[in-house]
Structure formats: structure tokens, C-alpha cells
Amino acid sequence: MKLRLLLFLSFFVLKTFSQDKFSISGYVKDTKNGESLIGATVYKLGSNVGASANEYGFFSLTLPKGEHIIAVSLIGYKTFTFSVNLDKNIIKNYELAEEGKQLDEVIITGEAEDKNIKSTEMGTTKLDIKQINKIPALFGEVDVVRAIQMLPGVTTVGEGASGFNVRGGNIDQNLILLDEAPVYSSSHLFGFFSVFNPDAVKDVKLIKGGIPSQYGGRVSSILDVRMKEGNSKKLSVNGGIGLPVFSRLSIEGPIAKDKASFIIAGRRSYIDALVKPFVKSTNPIKNAVFYFYDLTAKVNWRINDKNTVFASGYLGRDAFGAPGFKFNWGNTTGTLRWNHIFNNKLFMNTTAIYSNYDYLLDFKQESNNQQFNWTSQIINYSLKNDFSFYANSKNTIRFGAQALFYDFLPYNATGKFENTTIKFKADKRYGIEYSAYMGNEHKIRPRLTMEYGLRVSVYNYIGKGTAYTFGDTLSNEELPLKSSKKYENGQVMKAYVNPEPRLSVNYVINSFSSIKASYNRMAQYLQLISNTAASTPLDVYTLATNNLKPLLADQGSVGYFRNFKDNMFETSVEVYYKYLQNQLDYIDNANLFINPTVENQLVQGLGRAYGAEFYVKKNKGKLTGWISYTLSKTERLVNGISNDKWFFSRYDRTHCLNTVLTYELTKRWSVSTNFVLLSGTPATFPNSKISIQNLNIPYNTTGTRNNYRIPAYHRLDLGATYNFKKNETRKFKQNIVISVYNAYNRRNAYSVYFRTKQGSTFETEAVRFSVIGSIVPALTYNFNF
């Protein structure tokens, strides 16, 4: 049925074909390293007829028969102009050369200068890795996710919290894609660093609103991270040595010039190795293990003009340990892609994806033969097909389909004590999500562009497994198990179907301002189970089941975009309203770990989030950067919690101010600064204490959740970069980055909790817990040749 609808839509569009028009198509690449240039624009000079290169650098532009002057441009690159007599379809690749060094230093966006005005994208930010490199970072380590947290509408509950919150969404509501493979844990070291190695990242795009139909599966945002293909012209090495945390090294180069290339990039922390010589042999740190590493690799092979294949992979792990104790976790992803150009108008990408997240926890005591270990795992296998059909200069149609298989092991635990072994193993849980989409970017009038589309997702909770049925009880109580039914392999235990309409409209007022509006519905078939303030690596996801409905979100947003001074300043104001259904919450004292019937500990409720985001960005000049301010509110309504009234969510922050500025002092020196000012997150504080069995238990007689806020968060970071004089013959580039995180040593509260004063029977106190309680200086040396 859905397929037929897609076909019908395709024919409807095909009809608009015109025979006296021809197209010019191909890839846009970088002259220097052969990397495809995402978002490069190809347009007829002096008109607003143009096309932009897709995520593989492919474009197709349809024009009437005849003589045209065509320009290929991308900010930071010299515009390439050529004239063409279009009497047949042309397929050709174009290479752009980077602009001179001087300009390169001050350009901080990789897009056409006025793309923010003309495209239908809203709530979307593309971060260039060069730009991220300049932001002063914790421990001097350039970080994609922490850079994203400086954008309007994006927050985190604090340092040490994994992931990020977008427009009032929980961290599990962000689809994080690394070369199209979903990444389940985006953090190393409990959120201090992201898993993305900046040396291997080409392009980062965050979509908060107006999410196009090709994306689905999470309700709040898409973080689309694209890896570099690897230099296809010459061998190149990038590296960095950081004090005190870790080092990076990447090598990229051609396998066959302009035909095939590779990149391999690795990082490892060595703080453990650095610390050990300085501690006494009796110190527990001496025998402790704590490190993380990641390895990112990609190869591509251009078979011919019409076919290119890519293979990319990621492997990362965090490990902690002490004698008798081991804890580690990590992601593994693999992507195989095939780009195929059917003809000058139809581009196809086929992707096979593998993604794995697992953790292991192990306690062992040799002396009395005791052991307890615990693992959990989530695996995804997926196959997807995406088509870009450049129907004509007015319509660009994208359509495709995906099948995504979830293979979950909630837990597998073994306890051993002398001769007794106890095993707890949950049944694996399986789900399969099918989706098909079609969207059209339609230039209706010269000033009016609409992108409309529909995604339909079908989810099946499948066997082999057990479906539990629970009886009713009072709200906020554990549901009694009524019955359970076993299902065989592949048998459908529960099915859900969700149509997800998407719409974005852009009305260009003039060459420097536009108004945009968007609506999207998103469906999500898995959610993170975590009732801790921050997500931990131990948290497990749960699939939608016969008891847990899929999470749904509707979001509408409106924005005004205006550029000043010949696109030197970009400004925007966006307002959004988001409504969520079936968001997970927990009954009081929920037992979420090693519990086969964990569903009866969960409740589902409503969420709403709304806000206004203000953004000013300076793209050119010696001073570049942005200031963003967000005013927002995020609430939940869950039966049985907080007196059945709306309450603030844990990640609600009324005011968020982020300032990121970089100043080019001289040709060699640049300095940068961040300033962050955020309202404190809500927290539940007691108004009483009750004494039972000599325990002074905090109690909140009003029953209102999140009735207080912890103190406001503010922080200043400073950074300076010194670029050494370039050795022209060897092309050896090097720089030193000095950074100071939390420059005025603020002890920002991560949480406030209440306890009995040590040594006292009745006296109680409030304790502020700060994850970063000092100034954190760092030094990083980077090189490239």
C-alpha cells in the first residue's frame, strides 16, 4: 500500500519532466585531498537557479537547452566558473581549491554565505571541524558533542553527563549517526569526551527541527556525523599530543590515486600511565586500570564514474578496573556503502549497517573463589536504500526505505561463590523497524520553497520471546504480572504503524532575510531506561513492546532569518513547540536492573517543551563566533507522579546563554573564549525529615517533583593557539593549543543532595556535588604533514 503510494508520487513527479531541458551533474571535490564537498552549490550565474551537493558531494542541475555560465562555490573555496553549451546531459566532476590561507583562517562555515536564508533548513546547524577546532575545550581536546552543546536549544544536565538534550528531549531522543550507523553511547569517560575523533570527522550536522523525511527513529534531533574519505591525492599524517589526557594519530592517503583512498585514525588516553609513576605502591591507583581508546577507519573505491563504494568502521572502548574489579563499555560500528548514479538525475546510495554497544562488569576475589559478572548488549543490523532524484530545477525528490533489526540482550549475569553458581540471563528481545519515505524539495515560486514529505514506519516486536501481560493497580505501584505468553522465532508479538508527516516552508523576503516554518512528527521505538540524574554506561535501552508504546513527538517551529553586512552576520530567531507522547518514567523505587519484567516498573507520560532561540553568528573578520540565547520550558505529565500535575523535567533550563568567540591576533596567534550561563536544573528538595530505624530520611510533603533548582551554572573558558611557521618544502604544519577550562574556578553544582552529618545522630546537611571543582588547564600539540 505504502509502496504503491510512493510509486504514484514518483510518477506524478516524473510527469513534470521536460524534454527541452538538460542537466549537468557530478561530484564536487576538494583539489587538495579529493574529499567530496558536502553542501557545495552549483548554480547558473546571475540567477537563483541552483542545486547543492548532497552528503556524498553529488549534485544535479537541470537547465534549459543553450549557453550558460555555471558557478560552483563553497565558502572557503575559490568559486569555479565555466561556460557550457547545454545540448545534452553532462556528467562531470568538479574540483574546488581552497582560498588563500588568510581567508581560510577567518571563515567559520562551510556553506554558501546565504544558505541560511535560502534553504528550507531550520533548526539546523552545520559545524565545520575547523570551527570546532578553535573552541577552547576541556583538557584541550577538540570535541564535537561539547561544541554542539554551545548551540541554541541544546543543553546538558552538567559535566559528566553523557549525551545532550535537544529542545527538551531526553538524551536517547537524539539519533547519532556515524557514517549512517547509529551510535548508542556518544561519550567516553562519562560524557567528558565524545567518541568522535576530530581528525576523522569531515562534517557534523545537527537537525533540531523541520527534520526531513529521510531521517527517522528518534524524536528530538539528528546528529549526522560524516567521516572523511581519506586523502586521495597524497599521504598525509595528522596528530596531536595532549597533556594530560590523550593523544591522536591519523594517517590518510591514496590507495590508487584519485581512485581509492583510506583513512585510519586512533586515540588513546594515557592519564593512567602518567599518574602511576607518581603514586606509592600502596595506593590503589597503582593497580588501577582506566583508559579509553577508539579507532576509526574508512576506505573508498571509485570503481568508475557511476559507482563508488565505501567501507567505514569505528571501534571504541572505555575501561576501568582495579584488582578484582573490571568495568568496560564501548561501541562498534561498521558501514558498507555503494553510491550509484543511474543517470544524470537519479542518484542512489545503498547502505548496510552494523552497530553494537555492550558493557561488562566483573567483580572477582580469587582468595575465596567469588565472582560476579554482568553484561548487556544491543546490536543493530540495517539495510537502507536512499535515492536522490533531481527531477527538474524546481523539484528534488528524495525517497528510500530502510529495514532495521534490533537484537537486545538486557542482561546476562553470573554469580559464583565457591561451588555455587547462579546465572541470570534475560531472554533476548528482538524488534524490526521498516520505514519508507518520500520527500520533495519544491521551489514553488522564486521566493517560496517547500519541502514536504512522508515517512511511514512499521515496527514489529518479534519473537523468540515472552510477552508479559500485567494487571491493574494503583498508580505509581508495580503492576502485578497476570500472564505471559511465549512466542517463536520471528513471530510478531506486537505491531505499531506510524505515519510521520514532515513539512518545511521557506519564504525569502529579500536577499538577506527569510521566514521559515516547519512541522514534523517523529516516532521512536526504543527508549533508554535510566532513573539516574545522568545517564550511565550501565543504562540499557528497551524496545517498544506489547506494554510500552512507541514514543511520538510532534514539533512545530517558526523562524525569522536575517543576515547583515553582506552576510558577515547571520542572525535568527526561532520559536518551537514540541509535544511528546509515551515518554518513559519510573514508579518510585523502581527496580530497573536484572529484572525480567522491567516493564512493570515503567510508566509512560506526556511531555511538552517550548521555547525561543536567538542566535547571532559572525562569519567573517578577525573576530568570529556566535552568541546564542535560549528561553525555554520543558515539562512532563505522568500519572501517579508529582500529584498528577505537570512538573519540570530534569533537563529544563529556563535561560541558556552561550558565547563562543575567536579572535585572530596575528598571523600566528589566535585566542578564543567561551562563556556559558545556564539556569540551574530542577531538583527535588525535601521540606521535612522523617526518622525510621535511626535513618534521617528526607521527605517532601508536597509530593511535587523538581520543586527547586540547583544554583545557576556559569563558566568561562580561555584558549590560545599558536601556529608555527610553515615549512614550505616539507609542508609540515604544527600548532600548540593552550586552554583553561573553568577559568575563574567556579564550583558549579551538578547536584545537591541531603544527608546526615557525619558523626551526628540528627543533624542533617545539604551537599553540593561538583564534577569539575577546579581550573582545568591543558596543553595540546598538533601536527600535520
Partner 1 sequence: MKNIIKLLFFTTGLFFLSSCEDVIQIKLDEGAKLYVIDAFVNDLRTNQTIRVVSSDNYFSNREAPPVSNAQVILKDLTANVQYNFTYTSNGNYVFPLTNADTIARINHQYELNVTIDGYVYSSLSLQKRTAVLDSISAVYNDGTAGFGPPSPFYNCFLWARDKADDNPDYYWIKTSRNDTLFDKPGDLNTAIDGTGGVVTNAGVDTLDFTPPAIFLGFQNYRSGDKCKVEIHSISRETNNFLFQAVAQIQNGGLFATTPENVRTNISTPEGAKTKAVGWFNMATVVSKIKIIP
Restricting to residues 573-632, name those near partner 1 by CB under 8 A: 586, 588-589, 591, 593-597
Torsion angles phi and psi, residue 31, rounded to 5: -60, -40
Measure Cα distances from 126 to 44, 57, 111 in Å: 25, 15, 8
Q: Applying CB under 8 A, which of residues 20, 666, 695, 725 lies at the interface with partner 1? A: 695
Considering only residues 145 to 164 of the shown chain, the ones binding partner 1 according to CB under 8 A are 160-161
Q: Cα-Cα-Cα-Cα dihedral of 484, 490, 494, 498, to 10°?
A: 160
Q: E strands within 2-87? A: 21-30, 41-44, 50-52, 58-64, 66-73, 80-86
Q: Does 495 help bind partner 1 (rule: CB under 8 A)?
A: no
Q: Residue 595 and residue 611: Cα distance in Å, rounded?
A: 38
What 3-state DSSP class applies to 106?
helix
- Amino acid symbol at 596: P
What 3-state DSSP class applies to 711?
coil
Under a CB-based contact definition with an 8 Å cutoff, are residues 564 and 609 in contact? no
Q: Does 693 help bind partner 1 (rule: CB under 8 A)?
A: yes
What 3-state DSSP class applies to 423?
strand
Q: How far is the CB of 162 from partner 1 (least distance, A)?
A: 10
What 3-state DSSP class applies to 118?
helix
Considering only residues 434 to 453 of the shown chain, the ones binding partner 1 according to CB under 8 A are none
Q: How far is the CB of 293 from partner 1 (least distance, A)?
A: 16
Q: How far is the CB of 741 from partner 1 (least distance, A)?
A: 10
Q: Applying CB under 8 A, which of residues 770, 777, 779, 783 lies at the interface with partner 1? A: 770
CA atoms within 13 A on the CB side of 530: 19
Q: Residue 147 and residue 550: Cα distance in Å, rounded?
A: 30
| Cell numbers standing for residue 94 | 568538479
Based on CB atoms, which residue is closest to partner 1, 176 or 587?
A: 587
Based on CB atoms, which residue is closest to partner 1, 432 or 534?
A: 534
Q: Applying CB under 8 A, which of residues 12, 306, 703, 785 lies at the interface with partner 1? A: 703
Q: Applying CB under 8 A, which of residues 87, 305, 566, 765 lies at the interface with partner 1? A: 765
Q: Does 691 help bind partner 1 (rule: CB under 8 A)?
A: yes
Q: How far is the CB of 393 from partner 1 (least distance, A)?
A: 54
Q: Applying CB under 8 A, which of residues 88, 102, 692, 730 lies at the interface with partner 1? A: 692
- Amino acid symbol at 749: A
Q: Does 747 help bind partner 1 (rule: CB under 8 A)?
A: yes
Burial (CB count within 10 angstroms: exposed 0-12, middle 13-18, buried 19+), residue 528: middle
Q: Does 778 help bind partner 1 (rule: CB under 8 A)?
A: no
Q: How far is the CB of 412 from partner 1 (least distance, A)?
A: 12
- The span from the first CA to the last CA of the chain, in angstroms, equals 55
Residue listed under C-alpha cell 585531498: 33
| Cell numbers standing for residue 785 | 604533514
Q: How far is the CB of 650 from partner 1 (least distance, A)?
A: 7
What 3-state DSSP class applies to 693?
coil
Q: How far is the CB of 691 from partner 1 (least distance, A)?
A: 4
Based on CB atoms, which residue is closest to partner 1, 379 or 413?
A: 413
CA atoms within 13 A on the CB side of 26: 14
Q: Residue 376 and residue 17: Cα distance in Å, rounded?
A: 53
Piece of 71-79, 465-473, 758-766, 777-785 that binds partner 1 (CB under 8 A)? 758-766
Q: How far is the CB of 385 from partner 1 (least distance, A)?
A: 41
Q: Applying CB under 8 A, which of residues 688, 724, 727, 785 lies at the interface with partner 1? A: 688
Helices in 81-231 by DSSP H: which ranges? Answer: 101-106, 115-118, 129-133, 144-148
Based on CB atoms, which residue is closest to partner 1, 320 or 452?
A: 320
Burial (CB count within 10 angstroms: exposed 0-12, middle 13-18, buried 19+), residue 761: exposed
Q: How many CB atoms lie within 10 A of CB 538?
A: 16
Q: How far is the CB of 640 from partner 1 (least distance, A)?
A: 11
Q: How far is the CB of 688 from partner 1 (least distance, A)?
A: 4
Q: How far is the CB of 35 from partner 1 (least distance, A)?
A: 37
Nearest CA-CA partner of 35 in 97, 105, 90? 97
Based on CB atoms, which residue is closest to partner 1, 371 or 784?
A: 371
Q: Does 779 help bind partner 1 (rule: CB under 8 A)?
A: no
Q: How far is the CB of 136 from partner 1 (least distance, A)?
A: 17
DSSP summary character for residue 679:
P
Q: Applying CB under 8 A, which of residues 234, 276, 286, 689 lies at the interface with partner 1? A: 689
Q: How far is the CB of 137 from partner 1 (least distance, A)?
A: 15
Q: Residue 633 and residue 651: Cα distance in Å, rounded?
A: 9
Q: Does 761 help bind partner 1 (rule: CB under 8 A)?
A: yes
Q: Does 697 help bind partner 1 (rule: CB under 8 A)?
A: yes
Q: Applying CB under 8 A, which of residues 338, 487, 629, 685 lies at the interface with partner 1? A: 685
Q: Does 360 help bind partner 1 (rule: CB under 8 A)?
A: no
Q: Does 483 help bind partner 1 (rule: CB under 8 A)?
A: no
Considering only residues 181 to 220 of the shown chain, the ones binding partner 1 according to CB under 8 A are 190
Considering only residues 325 to 354 of the shown chain, the ones binding partner 1 according to CB under 8 A are 325, 327
Q: Applying CB under 8 A, which of residues 674, 696, 721, 782 lies at the interface with partner 1? A: 696
Q: Does 750 help bind partner 1 (rule: CB under 8 A)?
A: yes
Based on CB atoms, which residue is closest to partner 1, 512 or 769?
A: 769
Nearest CA-CA partner of 518 in 452, 613, 435? 452
Q: How far is the CB of 370 from partner 1 (least distance, A)?
A: 6
Nearest CA-CA partner of 523 in 217, 220, 222? 217
Q: Does 764 help bind partner 1 (rule: CB under 8 A)?
A: yes
Considering only residues 406 to 425 of the shown chain, the ones binding partner 1 according to CB under 8 A are 413, 415, 417, 420, 422, 424
Considering only residues 627 to 666 of the shown chain, the ones binding partner 1 according to CB under 8 A are 650
Measure Cα distances from 293 to 246, 374, 490 in Å: 9, 22, 37
Nearest CA-CA partner of 548 in 672, 461, 482? 461
Overall size of the chain counted in residues: 785
Under a CB-based contact definition with an 8 Å cutoff, are residues 574 and 122 in contact? yes
Considering only residues 523 to 552 of the shown chain, the ones binding partner 1 according to CB under 8 A are 531-534, 536, 538
Q: Residue 528 and residue 690: Cα distance in Å, rounded?
A: 33
Q: How many CB atoms lie within 10 A of CB 540?
A: 21
Q: How far is the CB of 159 from partner 1 (least distance, A)?
A: 9
Piece of 178-186, 302-310, 458-466, 700-708 that binds partner 1 (CB under 8 A)? 700-708
Based on CB atoms, which residue is closest to partner 1, 672 or 742?
A: 742
Q: How far is the CB of 244 from partner 1 (least distance, A)?
A: 10
Residue listed under C-alpha cell 582495579: 322
Q: Applying CB under 8 A, which of residues 686, 714, 733, 736 lies at the interface with partner 1? A: 686
Q: Does 277 help bind partner 1 (rule: CB under 8 A)?
A: no
Piece of 223-231, 299-307, 559-567, 681-689 that binds partner 1 (CB under 8 A)? 681-689
The string of DSSP letters for 712-749 reads PEEEEEEEEEEEPPPBTTTTBEEEEEEEEESTT-----
- Amino acid symbol at 616: V
DSSP summary character for residue 757:
P
Measure Cα distances from 440 to 86, 127, 207 in Å: 25, 25, 18
Q: Applying CB under 8 A, which of residues 412, 513, 581, 700 lies at the interface with partner 1? A: 700
Nearest CA-CA partner of 161 in 683, 641, 650? 650
Based on CB atoms, which residue is closest to partner 1, 191 or 313?
A: 191
Based on CB atoms, which residue is closest to partner 1, 501 or 698?
A: 698
Based on CB atoms, which residue is closest to partner 1, 359 or 576?
A: 359
Based on CB atoms, which residue is closest to partner 1, 435 or 742?
A: 742
* Beta bridge partner(s), residue 176: 223
Q: How far is the CB of 101 from partner 1 (least distance, A)?
A: 38
Q: How far is the CB of 541 from partner 1 (least distance, A)?
A: 17
